[in-house]
Amino acid sequence: MKKNQLGTSNLHVSELGFGCMSLTGNTSEDEKIIHQAIDSGINFFDTADLYQFGMNEKSVGNALKHKRRDIILASKGGNAWEDGKEGWTWKPEKNYLKSAVKHSLHRLGTDYLDLYQLHGGTIDDPHDEIIEAFEDMKNEGLIRYYGISSIRPNVIQTFAEKSNIVSVMMQYSLLDRRPEEWFPELDKKGISVIARGPVAKGLLSESYSEKINENGFLDYSQEELNDMLPQLHDLAQEKNMTLEQLALRYVMDQPQVASALAGSSRQAQVKNNIESTAKPALTTETLRGLRAMTKSNTYQNHR
């Protein structure tokens, strides 16, 4: 499988990565799914301490305990749980982050992370303190590189200008093309995009008709989705692809995207996703046509 350099780091990640949030929680089944992904060429796995209250990291760690040297492992932190309180609390503090990464390492059964990411962020956060925390983690050998997971323009700009991030994880798909407005700026600074949600919550899948509802999706109304998705499906068939594979190829074929994270809860899903990497890259003409069929979107309402 094609490998791409992650920002200015010396990490080379598979163009198709594995988003671990979708794992089943069944340790034995998760191990089969993850090993299938590795055997198929995926080397980049992303989790977070937030997923399933840390149990996702434990399951991933168990599956990777004999594969650690073969893969690039990423996690995320910055959210804390409090006893007796529903949900989580945003806690972008230096001491908390340095403690959280050690808990993640323990759950994952490893002594370092290849990539550690701030899991969120606001413009009011103590950015210098956060950056100091990440730099300390690097100096202590707990992490090799760091990045952020954010869709907020002010947050992205702040870290791009003030820190040594190598990546920004962003929701990105044919139906959510907001990250494209940031591609030129991130490219100038040598920062890669890690794309999550490339199949737009299943709307860009073979079962798209079951996913459309009255709420639409971002700027798309229900009527617009009913009109456009069958056209995208027909185009995928013309290219001898499933709709998922067309959606994944669109994201993977962007030079600024180091890896597209696709989650799987079944081995059949892994197989279908993997097959997208064997499909030829989309031509310039096809990419142009897909952009004409969809909206460019903007982050103007996500400061």
Rounded-to-integer distance, Cα 239 and Cα 247, Å: 12
At 32 the three-state DSSP class reads helix
At 281 the three-state DSSP class reads coil
Nearest to residue 49, comparing CAs of 84, 87, 96, 100? 100
DSSP state for residue 54 in the 8-state scheme: G
Choosing from 51, 172, 220, 250, which is the catalytic residue? 51
Alpha helices in the chain (DSSP H): 27-39, 55-64, 94-108, 127-139, 153-162, 183-188, 208-211, 222-238, 243-252, 267-276, 284-293
Q: How far is CA 99 from the centre of its chain?
A: 23
Q: Which residues pair with 73 in a beta bridge?
A: 45
Rounded-to-integer distance, Cα 126 and Cα 163, Å: 13
For the chain, percent helix, then strand, then coil, each to nearest 5? Answer: 45, 20, 35
Catalytic residue list contains 299? no
Pairing of strands 16-19, 44-46: parallel
Rounded-to-integer distance, Cα 276 and Cα 269, Å: 11
Question: Could you tell me which residues come within 8 angstroms of residue 257 by beta carbon, excluding any fewer than 6 positions away?
Answer: 4, 15, 172, 192, 193, 194, 195, 251
Active site residues: 51
